[in-house]
Amino acid sequence: MTVAEMSLSGKDKTVVKAFWDKVAPKTAEIGGEALGRMLTSYPQTKTYFSHWSDLSPESAQVKKHGATIMGAIGDAIGKIDDLQGALSKLSELHAFKLRVDPANFRILAHNIILVLAMYYPADFTPEVHVSIDKFLQNLALALSEKYR
């Protein structure tokens, strides 16, 4: 089921940018937390990280990589009008080198959303949730662009 074709409205972009500015101080932590949760709750995702020694949520490797991912997402928000262009290199990486099944992008997105809701229960309203969900889906679509 691909629902990622629902493109971002002007309002979505505004909401996403505003919310990201608010959460900016904690994005690294949120990323580490989200990745840790993904690996714990969806253990099949661990197969992509078999080269790490520690896949627990407390792992330094997990936290660092979560921060990296959130950094890339933040960059993409800066180029939100051309996600495909912004993610071109990362798409090649995921398609040809990492070979991550794109179905997993949704799983990570779910965990990012969950952690955002935990850290910002008042700010992560349903309206913000819709726009962030749409954005992450569009991001995933751009990330899968080079696969085939």
- Kindly list the residues in this chain that would bind another protein in the complex (CB under 8 A): 1, 36-37, 40-41, 57, 106, 110, 113-115, 117-118, 121, 124-127, 129-130, 133
DSSP H helical ranges for 26-79 = 27-41, 60-78
CA 102-105-111 angle, 5° bins:
155
In the complex, least distance from residue 62 CB atom to another protein, rounded to whole angstroms: 10
Asked if 31 contacts 67 with a C-beta cutoff of 8 angstroms, the reply is yes
Nearer to another protein, 75 or 123 (CB): 123
Nearer to another protein, 27 or 32 (CB): 32
In the complex, least distance from residue 129 CB atom to another protein, rounded to whole angstroms: 5
In the complex, least distance from residue 146 CB atom to another protein, rounded to whole angstroms: 25
Nearer to another protein, 132 or 143 (CB): 132
CA separation for the pair 41, 136 (Å, rounded) = 20
What is residue 131's DSSP assignment?
A: H
- State which amino acid sits at residue 89: K
Terminus-to-terminus CA distance in the chain, angstroms? 18
In the complex, least distance from residue 88 CB atom to another protein, rounded to whole angstroms: 27
Nearer to another protein, 62 or 86 (CB): 62
CB atoms within 10 A of CB 20: 19
